Amino acid sequence: KAGVTQTPRYLIKTRGQQVTLSCSPISGHRSVSWYQQTPGQGLQFLFEYFSETQRNKGNFPGRFSGRQFSNSRSEMNVSTLELGDSALYLCASTLLQGEDGYTFGSGTRLTVV
Partner 1 sequence: AQSVTQLDSQVPVFEEAPVELRCNYSSSVSVYLFWYVQYPNQGLQLLLKYLSGSTLVKGINGFEAEFNKSQTSFHLRKPSVHISDTAEYFCAVSDAGNNRKLIWGLGTSLAVNP
**Contact set with partner 1 (CB under 8 A):** 4, 6, 33, 42-43, 45, 48, 56, 90, 92, 97-107
Closer to partner 1 by CB, 64 or 102: give it. Answer: 102
Q: Taking a C-beta distance cutoff of 8 angstroms, is the pair 105, 43 a contact? A: no
CB of 9 to partner 1, least distance (A): 9
> Which residue lies nearer to partner 1 by CB, 4 or 87?
4
How many CA atoms lie within 13 Å of 88's alpha carbon, on the beta-carbon side?
13
In the chain, how many H helices and how many E strands?
A: 0, 11
Distance of closest approach, residue 97 Cβ to partner 1, in angstroms: 4
**CB 101 → partner 1: shortest distance, Å?**
4
User: Considering beta carbons, is residue 65 or 88 the nearer one to partner 1?
Assistant: 88
Cβ proximity of 26 and 93 under 8 Å:
yes
Q: What is the C-alpha to C-alpha distance for residues 24 and 40, in angstroms, rounded to an integer?
A: 28
